[in-house]
Amino acid sequence: MTKIAIFASGSGSNFQAIVEAVNTGNVHASIEMLVCDQPEAYCVTRAKELGVPSLTFRPKDYSSKTAYEEDVLSALRERSVEWIILAGYMRLIGPVLLESYPNRILNIHPSLLPAFPGKDAVGQAMAAGVKVSGVTIHYVDAGMDTGPIIAQEAIMIEDGDDAARVHEKIQQVEHRLYPAIIEKVCN
C-alpha cells in the first residue's frame, strides 16, 4: 500500500476528505502523518480526531529553509513515505524535498491554473470578474503553482455569488476530485 504524508497549514478540509476516502477504500493508501507548519491550525485538531499522527514544525525556529526541510525529510523517511500530498500547505516546497520526491509531490489549487496562482486565488478571481474558475491538481516544481497539470475542473461563478459561495463550490469539487486523482496517480 502506498504510504503518503499530507501537508496542510489551515483548517484541513481537504485533509479530512482524503482521510475519509482512505477509510472508505476509495483511496488505497496509508496516511502516515499530517505535516503542519502552523501548530495551532485546525488541521492538527482534525488529525487528532481522525487518528492520524501529526508532526508540527515552525519554520521560523530553523536557521534556514534547508534545515527545516531536512528535519521534515527525516520524519518522512522514518515512516517510509512515498508521496507528499499538499492540501492547503501555504509554503513553497524547496530543493531538499523536491530532490527527494521527484514527481511525487501533488498540490491542489483553487483556480484553473495558470490563472490566479499563489495566495487568495478566489479573491483574485472575484476581483477579475471572471465567470469561470475551478480547481487544478498538479505536480509540484520549484515555482509557485507552475508544475505540470494533472487535472482541472471548472465551476461557474454566478451573479450574486460572493467569495464564500465561490469557495464553497470549489471545495465541493476539491473534496471529490483530489482523492480520485490521488488514487489514480499514486497507485
> Which of the residues are catalytic?
109
Cα gap 75→55, rounded to integer Å: 8
Q: Point out which residues pair with 25 in neighbouring strands.
A: none
**Residue 44 to residues 39, 91, 92, 94: CA-CA distances in angstroms?**
7, 17, 20, 23
Where do the H-state alpha helices sit in the chain? 13-23, 42-50, 65-78, 95-100, 121-128, 163-186
SS3 4: strand
Region for residue 37 given its phi and psi (left: phi exceeds 0; alpha: psi -120 to 50; beta: otherwise): alpha
Phi, psi of 159 (to 5 degrees): -55, 135
Instruction: Please list, in sequence order, all residues whose beta carbon lies within 8 angstroms of the beta carbon of residue 58, skipping any fewer than 6 positions away.
Output: 37, 39
* Sheet of 83-86, strands arranged across: 54-56, 29-36, 2-8, 83-86, 105-109, 132-139, 149-156
